[in-house]
Structure 1
Amino acid sequence: MDEAFGWGFVAAGVLFAAMGIGVLISTARKVVERRRILRDGLVAEASCLETFVVHHASQGHGQSQRRLILGFQTPDGRDVRAEAVSDVPHVIGDIVPVRYLAQRPERALPAKAASGIGSGPILIGSVMVFITCMGLFMAATAFGAVASMRH
């Protein structure tokens, strides 16, 4: 029974490490895609169809994020709707220059969007590195305990 318990901790540690690595890869892909859109994306004139604010509150502190629903047409005539975060206030009907990748126009970004990584991905990455390290430590410690039980 003790050995099975040890193997359960090994599996849980590996699961934590895998989860951390998966989220790190996903976050890195999003950052790379954002940079690629802003650097190499096609340009279009989008119309602001809707604007709203999303509030995030944690531990008594609130943060607001301004979002837009933008509509534009690709050169091949496809109508596209994209949701974007904007630091600049817009009203319905405003023309907003956007950049997008031809294969994914629904992920368009305002052309004047900040090209930096931002604090969100950095925070997520840091937490995921910590979770990955803790998972690997947990798996290695449990594996060592199981190995020592056999001798």
Structure 2
Amino acid sequence: MEAFFYLVPTVMAVGLLLGMSRVLVRSRRIARAWNSGLTAEARCLRSYTTASGGGDTMISTTLHQIFEFTTRDGRVVRFEEVDGPGTILEGDIVTVRYAADRPEQATVKAPARGRLFAESGCLLSFLGVLLAFCVFFMFAVHLMFDEAGDLLP
């Protein structure tokens, strides 16, 4: 029984750590593209949405856009941006920012370093609070049981 109270928070903590790493990787990818200073004109080849949820859960939609551009060295690159600007339609010409070593990680999002920092910071803080709660819960459970695994009175 005691193992259950350790297993569930541990699985949750691992998921939270993975989520935190995804936030950091995404922020670094976007910041790297903005900081490189390289831009190109790209065409939106396709724009579509996907829906998830339903039944007893809220339905959420995600905007996907596929862009194609040519780098300065003549390489044609196609990439997909998730949750990009909703004002871009198929056929539109937009400016993309990309890093020379990773043009497939380009972004259409205009540089907004403060907003990126605030979004990432708030999300990391929220996930950090949940992670701290998991650790606190496991510590509290540890104090509730004796060495034999019996619940203390």
The normalised TM-score by structure 1 is 0.71
1:101 maps to which of 80, 91, 99: 99
Q: After TM superposition, give the deviation of residue 88 of structure 1 in Å.
A: 3.2
Do the aligned partners of 1:10 and 1:140 also contact (CA within 8 Å) in 2? no
Give 5+ residue unaligned stretches, structure 2: none
- State how many pairs are aligned: 146
Q: Secondary structure at the match of 1:17?
A: helix
Within 5 Å, give how 1:36-55 maps onto structure 2. 36-53=32-49
In 2: Cα distance, 1:142 partner to 1:55 partner = 39
Q: Distance in 2 between matches of 1:7 and 1:64?
A: 38
Cα distance change on mapping 1:113 and 1:30 into 2, 3 Å: same
Whether 2:8 is the aligned partner of 1:12: answer yes
Which residue in 1 is equivalent to 2:26? Answer: 30
**Contact (CA 8 Å) 1:15, 1:135: kept in 2 or not?**
no
The answer as to whether partners of 1:19 and 1:132 remain within 8 angstroms in 2 is no
Give the TM-score normalised by the residue count of structure 2: 0.70
Structure 2 letter corresponding to 1:98: V
Given the alignment of the two structures, is residue 77 of structure 1 paired with residue 74 of structure 2, yes or no?
yes
Q: Shift in Å at residue 136 of structure 1?
A: 0.6
Identical columns (%): 23
Distance 2:107 2:25 in 1: 16
| Cα distance between partner residues in 1 of 2:62 and 2:50 | 5
Residue in 1 aligned with 2:87? 88
| Residues in 2 aligned to 1:41 and 1:132: alpha-carbon distance in whole angstroms | 36
Greater relative contact order (CA < 8 Å, ≥ 6 in sequence): 1
Shift of 1:111: 5.7
Q: Distance in 2 between matches of 1:120 and 1:62?
A: 22
Question: What RMSD, in angstroms, separates the aligned Cα atoms of the two structures?
Answer: 3.5
